[in-house]
Chains A and B, each alone.
Chain A
Amino acid sequence: MRLGCGAYAAGCVVIEVLGVALFLRGFFPAPARPEPEPPAAPAAPEPLAGTARSGPSAPPPLFRKVVIMLIDALRDDFVFGSKGVKFMPYTTSLVEQGAAHSFVAEAKPPTVTMPRIKALMTGSLPGFVDVVRNLNSPALLEDNVVTQAKAAGKRIIFYGDETWVKLFPKHFVEYDGTTSFFVSDYTEVDNNVTRHLDKVLKRGDWDVLILHYLGLDHIGHISGPSSPLIGRKLSEMDSILMRIHTSLLSEEREALSPSLLVLCGDHGMSESGGHGASSLEEVNTALLLASSAFERKPGEARPPERVQQTDLAATLAVGLGLPIPQHSVGRFLFPVVQGRALREQLRLLHLNAVQLSRLLQVRVPGYKKEHGFEHFKISERLHGNWVRLYLEENNAEILLNMGAKARKQYLYTLKALSQALSSQEAQYDMYSMVVGTVVVLEVLALLLLSVPQALGATAKLEVPLSPVCSLLFYVMFLLLWAMHMVVCTSTESSLYLCSLAWPMAGGVLALVSALLCGVLSTLTRMCLRGKFLRRNRAPSHWKWSELDFLVLAGTAGHVLSLGASSFIEEEHQTWYFLVSTLCLALSHESYRSCFLGDDEEPEHCPRVAGEFAGAASALQGRSVSCDVLELDRARQSPSPLDGLRGREKCMALAGPWLVLGCCRLLRSLNQTGVQWAHRPDLGHWLTSSDHQAELSVLAALSLLAIFALVQSRCSSVAKGALALGLLGVYCYRAATGHVLSPWQQDNKDVSR
């Protein structure tokens, strides 16, 4: 069977896409959507050894009000480092006085705002897929603190980054979103949040207040973490924190129940001011919990404890008396409940442990062997014993000792469970990644091997269907199937390919083996032909010219340069540079053949002209292959007319310079990249409203030029359609107000 060139290439592309899709499916940890929801059980009762006496159904909230002040890109050293001491005196004094617990919360990459907000509110770890959804974040459907609070009848107010409003569209009783699109604005974006503060702090009709300040992140993006603007912004944030805290304290005196103020960052800031990766500066964020309920001896200076960012969701849920979000992998921050009674502490620890172990049961098939789960069973038993003793009102000292032991056991359990769950989230599906890579590499090999045959529009490629090949195919298929079985039965974690229905998995394996057979047969055929050729001593006419070398080296060099991020940022510069070089080399070639080759080969000059036209059309990305064909025909036809040759000569000599000039114009038409993007360019000049007339003239001229260039190859009907279409383009632009329309001008005059 023989296959056309186009069908072959299309097939290869389709299979390539399939391979890439398989790889991506393995690379991105599967989103947690399809997993069965753990039953939304009512709060687990206190474990009571033996008897079934029910304790209090759900623990009461620890705090009456919670204020979350989220500052974008609040790195840990902005609060706890030297900068914090200098610019955030109130916050530092809070920590020193013992009215606040300080933590360094570790954010998991990707350190981008939306996945971080999700992590803070759901306690789960959003994967890299969420970066793609960052700009267009749909509503958060997973179980989270905000939804729980809304369901519990809490009134939530939000001011700040509008990502929150998109994530929680119907949750806030009042909100005002600010956009993070204008990165150069770092003042207004925060004032728009702060302006509501006075009003809101005075009224007491809310339970949760969330503030998200974007200014610090914007400053980081503009001028980096060492800019003097950072200090000013931190002082501003400190004064805001002071306002909120004093207002909360004065309110507490009347209401008698404590409130909680959370200061946190969603991600850090790298040394260049960006974020998104996993460097230490980007990952470490500050987390500060302040409340009058905390009792810590003042002056007890200790470095902030390292915790996970996901722990905040559980902490907030505990603080507000809500059930912990189902997918949360965090454990609540124990210092928050340190001042409470032992029974309450154990109860809250138990709730968190139950939630984590339920999640573990859903996610990990062999959960019973898991280290954390065994410890969970032990601590639950200890807890039960303690409760029994407590209800029997036993000796206080024994109670205290046993309680401390149970608490220690619980804390250890929570740590183990949380670690097990987080490591489980970060696993790649190696099997599908390997299969995807193999498919892609096989297609690549097949394409590379068939290049010599495929050069030419009418080439046919042979599909190997010989008995040897089919035997090889069956053997390969059986081998792969056996391997598949071994892999699927031996691993415990869920693999995508194993979870597929068997015909699908079989199809993929058949594809892999078929491709392998194709590669092998092409390879053997090539080897045979090479031997044949060598025996026949066929002389090769292929000779490397400088231009061939230049094109090849330029392509390879451009590809290689994309390995460095500096080159990626300014990729267009490399492109322009290489194109200019190619044009200069072409012009040198044409000059040489036109001036020197005259006495030897008079045919040379038009040939270069044709070559050049082909190259130029390839550069412009247009398919002017017919032009080249016409040139070819002109070359073949015996036309020794000197005039024509003169014109072609001129074209060949002037062409490269024309293209070079156009490239230079292109370069200044639109400054892109990173370093020079802010510089003025022709595009801005044209689109500014002062130069509308110039833009209109230019647009009209270009449309006319398109018509003039295309019309010679069209029938009269097509010509008319083309003209109408181009006129329509202009009219559309005039209607949207980009260019002037002559009729509009008249109307204006008339109306005047």
Chain B
Amino acid sequence: MKNADIKRLLYTHLLCIFSIILSIFIPSFFLENFSILETHLMWLCICSVFVTAVNLVLYLVVKRYPNPKNISTVHTWGISYVCKWFYFLCLFRLSCNFVLYGAPLIELVLETFLFAVILSTFTTVPCLCLLGPNLKAWLRVFSRNGVTSVWENSLQITTISSFLGTWLGAFPIPLDWERPWQVWPISCTLGATFGYVAGLVISPLWIYWNRKQLTYKNN
């Protein structure tokens, strides 16, 4: 059971990584002058759309996640509506956090917003898909010894590593190295992306390594 789960986890994560790589290379066929650094916002949008699509397809259409409750279609629609609100709330929260961390309040609003979009794509969308709009479940997953399955464990790892990558990416911004990627929010988005990819790679391996020690309450 567990091994099969881990295998599926690995495949889904590889798909996610593949989508990010695609988002780097595909647009250059259709758009001229496309590069990550110069047309950064464009890449941000494309990348977040790709990752969101892959996540939605994987989690909702394929439905390999064992849904605990049998929910009717009407309910599903209602839940997806709530999910949307949750998503926008998260966007707003993240933007607020960026401003509190020192992002400019009035200038560069679009940049800040798009950065919030991509970060929530990496963190909020998988959470919504997996846990639904349930704040208590979210808090439970992100506290110590709170995870109940392989999926939640990997979710915890990828989310934390994306946030960590973002956090580390913010450090070079004020320094005087005078590089093109030191502009807000490029280094942060790159950090977030690297962190997300690293989390995607690490989490199946880590879970596989520690599969003997990991015991989940419900399983």
Contact = CB atoms under 8 A, between A and B. Distances in A.
A668 B135 CA distance: 33
B136 A596 contact: yes
B100 A595 contact: no
A581 B143 contact: no
B174 A675 contact: yes
B86 to A, nearest CB: 16
Given A675-B174, A676-B174, A596 B143 contact: yes
A573 B101 CA distance: 10
Contacts of A573: 102, 174
Nearest to A572: B174
A584 B105 CA distance: 19
Interface string B95-130: 001011110010000000000000000000000000
Nearest to B172: A566
B140 A580 contact: no
Given A591-B139, A595-B139, A566 B177 contact: yes
A569 B101 contact: no
B170 interface: yes
Contacts of A664: 99-100, 102
A574 B105 CA distance: 19
Interface string B139-151: 1101110100000
A566 B178 CA distance: 11
A624 to B, nearest CB: 23
Contact of B135 (A570, A595, A661): A595
Nearest to B173: A573
B88 interface: no
Contacts of B143: 592, 596
Contact of B102 (A546, A577, A588): A577
B175 A596 contact: no
B32 interface: no
B171 A596 contact: no
Contact of B170 (A577, A675, A676): A577
B43 interface: no
A596 B139 contact: yes
A580 B102 CA distance: 9
Interface in A556-592: 566-567, 569-570, 573-574, 576-577, 580-581, 584, 588, 591-592
A692 to B, nearest CB: 24
A68 to B, nearest CB: 37
B93 to A, nearest CB: 11
A581 B175 contact: no
Contacts of B140: 596
Contacts of A581: 167
A569 B102 contact: no
A685 to B, nearest CB: 14
Contact of B139 (A574, A592, A674): A592
A566 B175 contact: yes
A580 B176 contact: no
Given A566-B175, A673-B174, A674-B176, A576 B136 contact: no
Contacts of B146: 596
A660 B100 contact: yes
B143 to A, nearest CB: 5
B162 to A, nearest CB: 15
A674 B177 CA distance: 13
A596 B135 CA distance: 10
Given A566-B177, A596-B140, A596-B143, A577 B171 contact: yes
Contacts of B101: 576-577, 580
B174 A580 contact: no
A64 interface: no
A663 interface: yes
A667 interface: yes
Interface string A58-86: 00000000000000000000000000000
A668 B105 CA distance: 10
B135 to A, nearest CB: 7
B97 A584 contact: yes
The interface size bin for chain B is: 20 to 34
Interface residues of A, number: 27
Nearest to A595: B139
Nearest to B99: A664
B108 to A, nearest CB: 13
Contacts of A567: 175
Contacts of B136: 595-596
Contacts of A596: 136, 139-140, 143, 146
Contacts of B139: 591-592, 595-596
A643 B177 CA distance: 54
B176 A569 contact: yes
A660 B99 CA distance: 10
A566 B179 CA distance: 13
A576 B100 CA distance: 10
A507 B174 CA distance: 49
Contacts of A574: 171
A674 B178 CA distance: 13
Contacts of A569: 175-176
B102 A667 contact: yes
A674 to B, nearest CB: 7
A320 B168 CA distance: 64
A668 B100 CA distance: 11
A371 B117 CA distance: 76
Contacts of A668: 105
Interface string A658-673: 0011011001100001
B68 to A, nearest CB: 19
Contacts of A661: 100
Nearest to B177: A566
B25 to A, nearest CB: 34
A588 B136 CA distance: 13
Contacts of B102: 573, 576-577, 580, 664, 667
A397 to B, nearest CB: 66
Nearest to A674: B176
- Residue of B97, B144, B176 contacting most chain A CB atoms (<10 Å): B176
Nearest to B143: A592
Contacts of B105: 668
Contacts of B100: 580, 660-661, 663-664
Interface in A578-636: 580-581, 584, 588, 591-592, 595-596
B94 to A, nearest CB: 12
Contacts of A595: 135-136, 139
Contacts of A546: 144
A502 B143 CA distance: 65
A584 B175 CA distance: 24
B29 to A, nearest CB: 38
Contacts of B175: 566-567, 569-570, 675
B127 to A, nearest CB: 15
Interface string A666-708: 0110000111100000000000000000000000000000000
Contacts of B170: 577
Contacts of B171: 574, 577
B141 to A, nearest CB: 11
B107 to A, nearest CB: 10
A546 to B, nearest CB: 8
Contacts of A577: 101-102, 170-171
A591 B99 CA distance: 21
A576 B102 CA distance: 8
Contacts of B97: 584
20 contacts: A546-B144, A566-B175, A566-B177, A569-B175, A573-B102, A576-B101, A577-B170, A580-B100, A580-B101, A584-B97, A592-B139, A596-B143, A664-B99, A664-B102, A668-B105, A673-B174, A674-B176, A675-B174, A675-B176, A676-B174
Interface of B: 97, 99-102, 105, 135-136, 139-140, 142-144, 146, 167, 170-171, 174-177
Given A577-B170, A577-B171, A592-B142, 11 more contacts: A566-B177, A569-B175, A570-B175, A573-B102, A573-B174, A577-B101, A595-B136, A596-B143, A663-B100, A664-B102, A668-B105
Rank and list the top 3 A-B pairs by shortest CB-CB distance, nearest first: A570-B174, A566-B175, A573-B174
